[in-house]
Structure 1
């Protein structure tokens, strides 16, 4: 990953409304959190740390020989958890941190390189992230598929679980894919500095964040710049439901 220095934090909480105990669910005989950590360790980071609020996850990760820290169980978001991890690890303000989702066990290396290049090219941005094109109307209408709207420079304007942008012409019954509109599916891969994490954690959750349950809206609400680019590699599906677990199990090794 060239000479760019960064660390990786993998936030992992036990509670999950759709898939309780998700980090400890076994996929092909190995717990999901271990899939994520081992994948993150292939990225060339100087350090990979799991930040959790659960002793069972801590025990598993530490027992497998990986670095892990215990954080508060009251964090509003994964980014808040990473901010505490940065404090516990003593990372300096100018340390770059990659937020590697614990339920995304197979993030392509090329996509990580892309986020790294992006934050270096956009010093005005607090966060770098990615999206991929949505091609099916089912995804547009799915609240679990977070949509993103950007301006012509790649700056994020809004994130939502709702179908944005909304096409009055084509969202009838049944809804159909608007041919003239490009829909963006946000990928929860973030790169930011510790200085931003400190600032973010000190801000109160915004009304938009609480309404949509999307932490990146706190940053937008307080005027932070988020830049996003189309991912060069298709992201494998994350693990959010029992169906996702079954699909992963069906994959060839």
Structure 2
């Protein structure tokens, strides 16, 4: 896996995402195969992963009576950060995750999004090479999700980030590559741009300003032998053999029928469309 970037770990509930994270952390025994992190083999119960791996669980737990600063100092002490470095480290981390102004407030007063950012701060204490985030935005409102996305994006040049999620729209927004898990096995793994190219549909969409024009165009195209026509509301979809051969034919047809002036787009599958195709 690359030493930087955000990599989406996606799959249905029960596919094995959290279990895989626990295997990487050395919290579960590995029954078959081997896992290496930064060249070091992971051994159940014997590997100190805190020096190379940061972990944000799905629902991070905090001591609500503590302030963010005191909580991070406790985590730094547990991680064996030298005492003289702890204060500067905590201030830097709070600044990095956007909590510097509320570092002295009790954690009980924090929103869920603020707690997620504090959870990321504790996962960064030892400057890990690998950051595992288990469903980091699953229970957040849109603003909280945006804040976590921006934070992870700001970190992706410094480390490898693996983010498990069932919110495929989140993966589309922030991930550089995707690892798709189904029934405990990887069914698809590649850069997101490559996946889109591989699963590109052969559909050209004509977008009209009203339903009447769309219907008239669909009826006029229906006799063509080079496309399959479907019309829905103000859109006419043309399923062609290939985009390369079909697009010029659409342009030529429209030139011959100047009464139609639609906007043209090529239908792009969403990550959800691709996921459903792969798992089925």
TM bucket normalised to smaller: under 0.3
What's the TM-score once normalised by structure 1's chain length? 0.25
> Could you state the TM-score of these two structures normalised by the residue count of structure 2?
0.23
Q: Which structure has greater helix proportion?
A: 2
Structure possessing the higher radius of gyration over alpha carbons? 2
